[in-house]
Amino acid sequence: MNLDKLETRSHEEREKTLLQDLAEQVQYAKSHTEYFGRLFDKIDAKTINTRQALATLPVTRKSELSLAQKKSPPLGGMNSTPIQQLKRIFQSPGPIHEPQGLGMDGFRLARALRAAGFQAGDLVHNAFSYHFTPGAWMLEGGAHALGCCVFPAGVGQTELQAQTIEHLKPTAYTGTPSFLKIILEKADEMGLDSSSIKKAVVSGEALTPSMRAWFKARNITVISTYATADVGLIAYETPELASVMIIDEEIILEIVEPNGSKPMPIGEVGEVVITIFDKDYPLIRFGTGDLSAIDPESVLQASPCGRSNLRIKGWLGRADQTTKIKGMFVHPGQVAEIARKHPEISKARVVVSGNIGSEVMTFHCELKEEKHADLNALKEAIIQSTRDVTKLRADVSFEGNNTLPADGKFIEDVRTYA
């Protein structure tokens, strides 16, 4: 697989180029957006041309977006391009809205797809959701940039997905790893041929060791990619290097103290903070809320695939309690919102259990009055509220008074990641 010239630069050359563009991007964000105009009012953008200078700027966190967008709709004043001139506006749980500019691959996913062997002429079975959230469009844009054709499969309808794969014979897949496994198992069950799929780029949930082994046994090259709706591609695996991820060439990534702003030493775990060079949505020091660490070995040597950028140790958890369930983020505030919809509830907690891809989300709650007139009706009402707020289905469990832990947690993740 051919590498482009950005992927083989020395660390010094890469840093020089990114930092030369940084001051200009800070000035652009300051001049063209309401939010950064206020935030950087006292900042001389010309001086923000080193990592040390960048670290003096405040961090804007994903957890703050929903409130900021409510105060200054629709995008919190962070967009420089008016929404009427954008290609799409998406909505993720929170709710949080994200813009997409007119460019073909504004989220920069082509680089990750190419690392997995995607190329012009491939037919890509895209099983990310095309409803509300941007995941499907992010991967589709990257595929189109490479010259691929895309089948917009979306989610669900497993039997139809398997039948379509046998008929169209796609060579590649994008979606969650667990759904790919489910589709292929359904094809086996129905006696359908799914062997055309040889490569896949997956995201939205963990690619567990057991799933890696399962795909390898079927001769499918599968790599995981790390991207968000706000900043696009952050890092990606290659077939030669699993479990650690190569940082995208067109961003500045920092690892900072969780919920703080000070950069962490190489190798130590902290929050992933990203600066992008997008002109429609010029986010500067955007705190993703995700935890990771720079792989110290990447400072010393390039990846076996030849790519020279630094690498991170993948996703290592969240700085807050936000949890991704079946590809959707669930926020602590959403749990509180569900509880507020039902005055009978005195305390609530979501517990996520099971295996990745087949996890169970359970809404545990204590009631103000243990003897409720119609628990079945209340249960169905809470299930519907949970679906309305999170777009996910949950079981409901009523607990005795003072039985839920008093630890401040709204979400507890006890899934198995084997």
Domain residue ranges of the chain, discontinuous segments joined by +: 11-319, 325-413
Q: Which DSSP string corresponds to 35-84?
A: HHHHHTTT--GGG--SHHHHTTSPPEEGGGHHHHHHHSTTTTT--SS-GG
Neighbouring C-beta atoms of residue 68, cutoff 10 Å: 17
Write down the pLDDT at residue 326: 84
Write down the pLDDT at residue 48: 98
Tokens for 158, please give them.
């497993």
Write down the pLDDT at residue 1: 59
The CATH class for the domain spanning 11-319 reads: alpha beta
Do 11-319 and 325-413 have matching folds? Answer: no
Q: Are 164 and 152 in contact (CB under 8 A)?
A: no
Q: How far is CA 330 from CA 69, 72, 169, 184, in A?
A: 18, 23, 35, 28
**Superfamily of chain region 325-413:** ANL, C-terminal domain (3.30.300.30)
pTM to 2 decimal places: 0.83
CA dihedral 198, 191, 217, 3 (to 10 degrees): 10
| pLDDT tens for the 418 residues of the chain, in order | 579 999 999 999 999 999 999 999 999 999 999 999 999 999 999 999 999 999 999 999 998 999 999 999 999 999 999 999 999 999 998 899 999 999 999 999 999 999 999 999 999 999 999 999 999 999 999 999 999 999 999 999 999 999 999 999 999 999 999 999 999 999 999 999 999 999 999 999 989 899 999 999 999 999 999 999 999 999 999 999 888 999 999 999 999 998 789 999 999 999 999 999 999 999 999 999 999 999 999 999 999 999 999 999 988 878 777 888 887 888 887 898 999 999 999 999 999 999 887 889 999 999 988 777 789 999 999 999 999 999 999 999 999 988 998 776 789 988 887 7
What is the rounded CA–CA span in Å between residue 145 and residue 137? 12
Q: Phi and psi of 366, rounded to 5°?
A: -100, 145
Q: Are 289 and 269 in contact (CB under 8 A)?
A: no
| Strand 251-256, strand 270-276: pairing | antiparallel
